[in-house]
Structure 1
Amino acid sequence: MSSTPPIAEDRAPEGDHRPSQLRQLAAASVGNTVEWYDWYAYSFLAVYFADQVFPKGAGNSLVPLLSSFAVFAVGFFMRPVGGLLMGAVADRRGRRAALTLTILLMGGGSLLVALTPTYAATGVLAPIVLVVARLVQGLSVGGEFAASTTFLVESAGPGRRGLFSSFQYVSTTLGQLLASGTGALLAALLTAHQMGQWGWRIAFLVGALLSLLGLWIRSGARETLPQAPDADPAARPAATERPADRPGLFEGLRRYPRQSLLICGITAGGTLAYYTWTTYLPTYAQVNAGFDKGEALTVGTLSLVFFALIQPLGGLLSDRIGRKPLLLTFALGFAVLAVPLLHLVTDSFASLLLVQCAGLVLLTGYTSIAAAVNAEVFPARVRAAGIGFPYSLTVALFGGTAPYVGTWFKQAGHAGLFPWYVAGLCLVSFFVYLALPETARRPLDG
Structure 2
Amino acid sequence: MTSTDHVANGPNKPPGTPPVSSARQLAAASVGNAVEWYDWYAYSFLAVYIADQVFPKSASNSLVPLLATFAVFAVGFFMRPIGGLIMGAVADRHGRRAALTATILLMGAGSLLVALTPTYHDVGVLAPIVLVIARLVQGLSVGGEFAASTTFLVESAGPGRRGLFSSFQYISTTIGQLIASGVAALLVLLLANDRMNDWGWRVPFLLGALFSLVGLWIRRGAQETRPAEERDGARPGLFEALRRHPRESLLICGITAGGTIAYYTWTTYLPTFAQVNANFDKGDALVVSTISLAFFALLQPLGGILSDRIGRKPLLLFFAIGFAALVVPLLDSVTDTFVSLLLVQCAGMVLLTGYTSVAAAVNAEIFPARVRAAGIGFPYSLTVALFGGTAPYVGTWFKEAGNAGGFPWYVAGLCLVSACFYLVLPETAKEPLKG
Same fold by TM-score, threshold 0.5 exceeded?
Answer: yes
Equivalent residue of 2:399, what SS? helix
- Residue in 1 that maps onto 2:21: 20
Q: 1:312-323 residue pairs with structure 2 within 5 A?
A: 312-323=301-312
Equivalent residue of 2:265, what SS? helix
Unaligned 5+ segments in structure 1 are 1-8, 228-235
Q: Please state how far the C-alpha of 1:72 moved relative to its aligned partner.
A: 0.4
Deviations along 1:216-266, one digit per CA (max 9) or x if unpaired, are 000000000113xxxxxxxx46xx743xx1000000000000000000000
- Residue in 1 that maps onto 2:4: none
Instruction: Give me the whole-angstrom Cα distance separating, in 1, the residues matched to 2:36 and 2:421.
Output: 30
Equivalent residue of 1:415, what SS? coil
- Residue in 2 that maps onto 1:129: 130
Is the aligned partner of 1:406 residue 2:395? yes
- Residue in 2 that maps onto 1:56: 57
Question: Are the aligned partners of 1:13 and 1:20 in contact in 2 as well (CA < 8 Å)?
Answer: no
- Residue in 2 that maps onto 1:429: 418
Q: 1:130-149 residue pairs with structure 2 within 5 A?
A: 130-149=131-150
Question: Are the aligned partners of 1:12 and 1:157 in contact in 2 as well (CA < 8 Å)?
Answer: no
Deviations along 1:158-196, one digit per CA (max 9) or x if unpaired, are 100000000000000000000000000111110111000
Question: Are the aligned partners of 2:12 and 2:226 in contact in 1 as well (CA < 8 Å)?
Answer: no
Q: 1:79-94 residue pairs with structure 2 within 5 A?
A: 79-94=80-95
Instruction: Give me the whole-angstrom Cα distance separating, in 1, the residues matched to 2:27 and 2:19.
Output: 14
Q: 1:77-116 residue pairs with structure 2 within 5 A?
A: 77-116=78-117
Q: 1:416 aligns with which of 405, 411, 418?
A: 405
- Residue in 2 that maps onto 1:253: 242
Instruction: Give me the whole-angstrom Cα distance separating, in 2, the residues matched to 1:312 and 1:326.
Output: 13
Identity of aligned residues (%): 79
Q: 1:46-445 residue pairs with structure 2 within 5 A?
A: 46-227=47-228, 236=229, 241-242=232-233, 245-445=234-434
Instruction: Give me the whole-angstrom Cα distance separating, in 1, the residues matched to 2:33 and 2:134.
Output: 18
Equivalent residue of 1:248, what SS? coil
Question: Are the aligned partners of 1:79 and 1:396 in contact in 2 as well (CA < 8 Å)?
Answer: yes
Deviations along 1:82-122, one digit per CA (max 9) or x if unpaired, are 00000000000000000000000000000000000011111
Instruction: Give me the whole-angstrom Cα distance separating, in 1, the residues matched to 2:384 and 2:206.
Output: 28
Q: In structure 1, give the amino acid aligned to 2:203.
A: I
Question: Are the aligned partners of 1:13 and 1:21 in contact in 2 as well (CA < 8 Å)?
Answer: no
Instruction: Give me the whole-angstrom Cα distance separating, in 1, the residues matched to 2:224 and 2:403.
Output: 51
Q: In structure 1, give the amino acid aligned to 2:178.
A: L
Question: Are the aligned partners of 2:111 and 2:205 in contact in 1 as well (CA < 8 Å)?
Answer: yes
Q: Please state how far the C-alpha of 1:348 moved relative to its aligned partner.
A: 1.1
Instruction: Give me the whole-angstrom Cα distance separating, in 2, the residues matched to 1:254 and 1:350.
Output: 50
Q: Please state how far the C-alpha of 1:11 moved relative to its aligned partner.
A: 2.5
Q: Please state how far the C-alpha of 1:12 moved relative to its aligned partner.
A: 6.3
- Residue in 2 that maps onto 1:40: 41
Q: In structure 2, give the amino acid aligned to 1:226.
A: P
Question: Are the aligned partners of 1:11 and 1:158 in contact in 2 as well (CA < 8 Å)?
Answer: no
Aligned pair count reads 426
Question: Are the aligned partners of 1:166 and 1:369 in contact in 2 as well (CA < 8 Å)?
Answer: yes
Q: Please state how far the C-alpha of 1:46 moved relative to its aligned partner.
A: 1.1
Q: Please state how far the C-alpha of 1:19 moved relative to its aligned partner.
A: 1.6
Equivalent residue of 2:218, what SS? helix
Instruction: Give me the whole-angstrom Cα distance separating, in 2, the residues matched to 1:73 and 1:336.
Output: 30
Q: Does the C-alpha gap of structure 1 residues 377 and 184 become closer, same or farther in structure 2, counting only changes over 3 Å?
A: same
Q: Please state how far the C-alpha of 1:393 moved relative to its aligned partner.
A: 0.3
Question: Are the aligned partners of 2:20 and 2:222 in contact in 1 as well (CA < 8 Å)?
Answer: yes
Instruction: Give me the whole-angstrom Cα distance separating, in 2, the residues matched to 1:88 and 1:345.
Output: 44
Question: Are the aligned partners of 2:13 and 2:226 in contact in 1 as well (CA < 8 Å)?
Answer: no
- Residue in 1 that maps onto 2:5: none
Question: Are the aligned partners of 1:328 and 1:430 in contact in 2 as well (CA < 8 Å)?
Answer: yes
Q: Does the C-alpha gap of structure 1 residues 157 and 12 become closer, same or farther in structure 2, counting only changes over 3 Å?
A: farther
Give the alignment's Cα RMSD to 1 decimal. 1.3
Q: In structure 1, give the amino acid aligned to 2:11.
A: R
Deviations along 1:250-297, one digit per CA (max 9) or x if unpaired, are 000000000000000000000000000111011101111111111011
Instruction: Give me the whole-angstrom Cα distance separating, in 2, the residues matched to 1:58 and 1:287.
Output: 26
Instruction: Give me the whole-angstrom Cα distance separating, in 2, the residues matched to 1:22 and 1:13.
Output: 15
Q: In structure 2, give the amino acid aligned to 1:359.
A: G
Moved over 6 A (4+): none
Instruction: Give me the whole-angstrom Cα distance separating, in 1, the residues matched to 2:314 and 2:39.
Output: 34
Q: Please state how far the C-alpha of 1:51 moved relative to its aligned partner.
A: 1.4
Instruction: Give me the whole-angstrom Cα distance separating, in 1, the residues matched to 2:232 and 2:12.
Output: 22
Instruction: Give me the whole-angstrom Cα distance separating, in 1, the residues matched to 2:197 and 2:370.
Output: 48
Instruction: Give me the whole-angstrom Cα distance separating, in 2, the residues matched to 1:147 and 1:351.
Output: 38
Equivalent residue of 1:445, what SS? coil
Instruction: Give me the whole-angstrom Cα distance separating, in 1, the residues matched to 2:264 and 2:297.
Output: 15
Equivalent residue of 2:429, what SS? coil
